[in-house]
Structure 1
Amino acid sequence: MTSKSMDLDFLNAFDQPFDNYQPSVENDIAPGERRKYIQPSSQNDPKLKELKTFLIEWINSTLKQEHIVVKSLEEDIFDGLVLHHLLERLGGMKLDVQEIALSVSSQKHKLGVIVQTVSRCLQLEESQLKWGAEDIYKKDLLATLHLLVAMVKHFQPGMDIPQNVCVEVLIVEPTKKGIKTEKVFEFITESRENLDHPSSKTDVFDELFKLAPDKVKAVKQAIIHFVNKHLGNLGLTVKDIDSQFSDGVILILLIGQLEGYFLNLSEFFLTPCSDAEMLHNASLAVDLLLSGGLLDSPVNPEDIVNRDIKTTLRVLYSLFSKYKHK
């Protein structure tokens, strides 16, 4: 699994709870709509605070001649006035919208024009956007941050924007059965190294351990929960992801459970007694994953035996990503 930039969207697959925050959304979100909320645990994250301070100072510096002062990204951006002036100042654009929009309809219209203009500047398709006019108007901090960061990168790419800002996000979606929630990680900014060398391929787990080591524990917990869910009927329980997969046995049994087949006990060692037998099991597991098209790139079975946690996570994630909803 590779990535050309600091793009850890794969973390969005992990839906285990990272804290107990549950916003009251029943009356605030329409059927079919998905809303994102930054978790309280991330609101106080020093990196997020640094990014918010950077963006506020950037806006105030850029719009100094207009005598516009922003104090809060949530409260001062939503009506479109600041974004309007930023586009005119940075992009030399004249937007066909009211200077000061007072009514709800005029503010939403103005935001719609601004979002479309930014999308054209960045040459982004609608599916690539991490913000929308409705999100900005509802004072969605996450959407506002994504929009402002995109504007900084496009109009002033030399700015030293805070790197590797990652937040825990709660996704809320009403369904016929009630409110569906999912908790994920989301990166707002990338690393400078990847921005400078966008063509270099970087494994997302390498980046996870390097840039967000505090998130590794939650990823492990999510995968352990997934594994135990599917091995419960075999009477097996995984508690230590770092060590319990090194002999290949649990991995082989998990693959069989998920892929729907049974391996003859003569094909692997159920109780391996040597490194050679463990390596045989790990090699068989990797071959099964490759033949099933589950691995994007080859994995060295020796790394599994040697308890290389990044390799173990890569292998388990290949199963998790396909069968997490099974």
Structure 2
Amino acid sequence: MDPDFLNVFTLPVALDQVGAENNIAQGEKRKLIKPTSHNNPKLEELKLLLIDWINTTLKQEHIVVKSLEEDLFDGLVLHHLLAILTKDLLSTLHLLIAIAKHFQPNLAIPPNVRVETITIENTSRGLKTETAVEYITDIKENLEDQSNDAFDELFSRAPDKLDAVKQVFLQFVNQHVGKLGLNVKDIESQFADGVILLLLIGQLEGYFLNLRDFFLTPASTTEMLHNVNLAVDLLTDGGLLNFSVNSEDIVKGDMKTTMRILYCLYSKYKAKET
């Protein structure tokens, strides 16, 4: 969790920093890497590794790539496949990583590389922007789990800020489950049966949750645990969890574990609140 957690609300991004809005046709939507993310050291490390891998692989063809955006765009390296991406670095990175993982599974691709993205849509009412955080490479648990450390510190050293953090989460949760006519007032008790958590994930991730897959009104601890396990599986499959979770802790109403789960969703979707 970010040290300045209470100040995480993202300010609107000036469109002139993106420099691509003039090329967007009405009705078109395009996702770009925000300029501030181009200075991310992990992103630079990833780009250099991919360039080195391409050059090593194509050495016999006497092809040398120096820039992912420029050298792959002309179709020489990946021919017509990348030509449709119009120098889109984000799509290029996703595609190259998929190719690299397929043909060289042992390639040491750095994990946890993420960028801030901005999606620009030219609507009849003008330009509409939406920011988000997107992982480019696999999420893996770090030796130093920053999320866990931050919440440990919050509970042990800054209990006076705990209520403020709860209110931030409650506002975030109710903004989304409120669309279903639900209202959450107590994080500790209302997430224990997994129902609110599943419905929140469904709202945010766009899942259609079949009522036969979970217990809408669980009548036992076993049914509650089933719901929470399903929620954890969905979060894991969606790449939102980078730490292990004991579902029983959530069923027991463990506040710290529940808040860590909520933070995984909040950190991805907080920008959509504006």
TM over 0.5: yes
SS at match of 2:191: helix
Tell me, yes or no, if the aligned pair for 1:35 and 1:173 is still in contact at 8 Å.
yes
Map 1:224-243 → 2, pairs under 5 A: 240-241=164-165, 243=166
For 1:76, give the aligned amino acid.
D
Map 1:61-76 → 2, pairs under 5 A: 61-76=56-71
Q: Give the TM-score normalised by the residue count of structure 1.
A: 0.50
Map 1:208-219 → 2, pairs under 5 A: none
How many angstroms does 1:27 deviate by? 2.5
How many angstroms does 1:28 deviate by? 0.3
How many angstroms does 1:43 deviate by? 0.5
Q: Which residue of structure 1 aligns with residue 153 of structure 2?
A: none
Q: Which one of 71, 78, 88 corresponds to residue 73 of structure 2?
A: 78
Tell me, yes or no, if the aligned pair for 2:119 and 2:130 is still in contact at 8 Å.
yes
Q: Which residue of structure 2 aligns with residue 224 of structure 1?
A: none
How many angstroms does 1:167 deviate by? 0.7
Q: 1:60 to 1:18 in 2, by over 3 A?
A: farther
Q: 1:255 to 1:83 in 2, by over 3 A?
A: closer
Q: Mind listing any 5+ residue stretches in structure 1 that lack a counterpart?
A: 1-15, 85-110, 116-131, 194-206, 217-237, 264-269, 271-277
Q: Provide, for residues 75-119 of structure 1, a one-character-per-residue CA deviation record: whole Å limited to 9, x for no partner.
A: 1110110124xxxxxxxxxxxxxxxxxxxxxxxxxx1xxx3xxxx
Tell me, yes or no, if the aligned pair for 2:192 and 2:252 is still in contact at 8 Å.
no
CA–CA distance in structure 1, aligned partners of residues 71 and 14 of structure 2: 25
How many angstroms does 1:255 deviate by? 9.0
- The structure with more radius of gyration: 1
Q: Which one of 259, 264, 271 corresponds to residue 309 of structure 1?
A: 259
Q: Which residue of structure 2 aligns with residue 100 of structure 1?
A: none
Q: Which residue of structure 2 aligns with residue 58 of structure 1?
A: 53
How many angstroms does 1:53 deviate by? 0.4
CA–CA distance in structure 2, aligned partners of residues 210 and 176 of structure 1: 47
For 2:116, give the aligned amino acid.
E
Tell me, yes or no, if the aligned pair for 2:68 and 2:92 is still in contact at 8 Å.
yes
Tell me, yes or no, if the aligned pair for 1:286 and 1:301 is still in contact at 8 Å.
no
CA–CA distance in structure 2, aligned partners of residues 30 and 143 of structure 1: 19
Q: 1:18 to 1:253 in 2, by over 3 A?
A: closer
Q: Which residue of structure 2 aligns with residue 164 of structure 1?
A: 112
Q: Which residue of structure 1 aligns with residue 13 of structure 2?
A: 20
Length, aligned pairs only: 204
CA–CA distance in structure 2, aligned partners of residues 312 and 60 of structure 1: 42
CA–CA distance in structure 2, aligned partners of residues 159 and 252 of structure 1: 39
Q: 1:257 to 1:36 in 2, by over 3 A?
A: closer
Tell me, yes or no, if the aligned pair for 2:177 and 2:200 is still in contact at 8 Å.
no
Map 1:259-298 → 2, pairs under 5 A: 259-260=180-181, 282-283=188-189, 285-286=190-191, 290=195, 294=199, 297-298=227-228
RCO greater where, 1 or 2, for CA within 8 Å and sep 6 or more? Answer: 1
How many angstroms does 1:260 deviate by? 3.5
SS at match of 2:23: coil
Map 1:1-326 → 2, pairs under 5 A: 17=10, 20-22=13-15, 23-84=18-79, 111=80, 115=81, 133-135=83-85, 138-191=86-139, 240-241=164-165, 243-244=166-167, 258-260=179-181, 282-283=188-189, 285-286=190-191, 290=195, 294=199, 297-298=227-228, 299-300=250-251, 302-304=253-255, 309-313=259-263
Q: 1:18 to 1:49 in 2, by over 3 A?
A: farther
For 2:84, give the aligned amino acid.
E
Please report the RMSD computed on the Cα atoms of aligned residues, expressed in angstroms. 4.4
Tell me, yes or no, if the aligned pair for 1:164 and 1:188 is still in contact at 8 Å.
yes
